[in-house]
Amino acid sequence: SSATCDDASGKCVCEPFFVGNPEMLCMPPITTPSCSPDCGQNAHCEYGVIQNSCVCNPGTSGNPYGICESKSRNSCSQMKCGRNALCRETLNSVECICPTGFVGNPYVQCNDIDECSTNNVCGEGAVCINTAGSFDCRCKPGHTGNPFTMCSPVEKNVCENPRRCQCGKKVQCPPGFTCERGTCKDQCARINCGPRAACDSGKCVCPAGYTGNPK
C-alpha cells in the first residue's frame, strides 16, 4: 500500500515520496522532491502545496533539518522500514538498514546497485548481468573460461572431408554444409534450381552474367 496510518494523529498519510489523497490513492511523483536547505540525518524531503519540506523518517522524531532520532522501540515488530530494507536489532536500539547490494534511505526505500554500470566488473570476453543485490558474469557465445577473469574464443577445426568427419562444438562443417546430429549435411542436397541456375549454401542463384528467377 502507498498509504499508512500516522500513530500520532490517527489519520491516513501518504508514504514518503508519494503524493495524492491518502484516503483514496497515493502515487509516486514523476521526480524525487528536493529541499533547500538539505534535510538532516534520518530525514527526507517531501512535496508540499507551496514548497517542499523535510520530515523525519518513519520511526524517528526530532528536527528534520538537523537530526531525527529513533523513537523508543525494542523489537523489529514495532519498526516499519522502507521498501527493500531490513530491520536490525542491536543491544540498545532497533534500526533499518539497506541490504548488501542496495543503497538509499532504509526508512524510505533501498534501491538496487547496478554493478554492471561500472566498467571492468567482469573478465575479458564476458558480459555482466545485473541481479537483485548482486551481479553475475557469463562468457559470451562462442567463448569459454572463467567469466570473472577471462573468457577465450572456443577453437574450432574445419572438416576437410565433410562426408566423413564428425562435427560438433569444436569441429565445424565447411561452407555449404550444416551440422546435423554430428554429421555434415549438404545444404543443396534437396534443392532443385532452375535452368542454368546453381545452388549455393542452400539457395538458388543465377551465375555471373545472368539475371532472372533462379528457381
Task: Provide the residue ranges of all domains of the chain, joining segments of one domain with +.
Answer: 72-113, 117-153, 157-205
| Percent of the chain predicted with pLDDT > 70 | 93
Q: Counting Cβ atoms within 10 Å, is residue 77 exposed (0-12), middle (13-18) or buried (19+)?
A: exposed
105-120 pLDDT tens trace:
888 888 888 888 877 7
The CATH number given to 117-153 is 2.10.25
Phi, psi torsion values for 187, nearest 5 degrees: -70, -20
Distinct helix (H) and strand (E) counts, the chain: 0, 22
Query: What is the pLDDT of the chain when averaged over all its residues?
Result: 83
- Which of residues 94 and 199 earns the better pLDDT score? 199
pTM beyond 0.85, yes or no: no
Whether 37 shows a pLDDT value over 70: the answer reads yes
Give the Cα separation of 90 and 102 in Å (integer). Answer: 21
Instruction: Confirm if 193 and 182 have CB atoms less than 8 A apart.
Output: no
Q: What is the mean pLDDT of residues 50-75?
A: 79
Q: What is the mean pLDDT of residues 134-159?
A: 85
Please determine whether the domains at 72-113 and 117-153 fall in the same fold group of CATH: yes
Could you confirm whether domain 72-113 is CATH 2.60.40?
A: no
Whether 9 shows a pLDDT value over 70: the answer reads no
pLDDT of residue 36: 87
